[in-house]
Amino acid sequence: MPDNRFERLRLLLMQDVLPVGMAIVDRVKRGGFSKITDVFVNEEDPLDELRNEGDQAASLIREKLDEITPGLGNPVVNVKISVEDTGIQKESLDDSVELKVTLERIEERIELLDKYLDSI
Q: What is the pLDDT of residues 85-110, one digit of tens each?
A: 666 556 566 677 888 899 999 999 99
- State the average pLDDT over residues 19-30: 91
**Long-range CB contact pairs, 27-35, < 8 A, 24+:** 27/53
Contact call for residues 14 and 73 (beta carbons, < 8 A): yes
Round the average pLDDT of the chain to a whole number and report it.
Answer: 83
C-alpha of 58 from chain center:
16
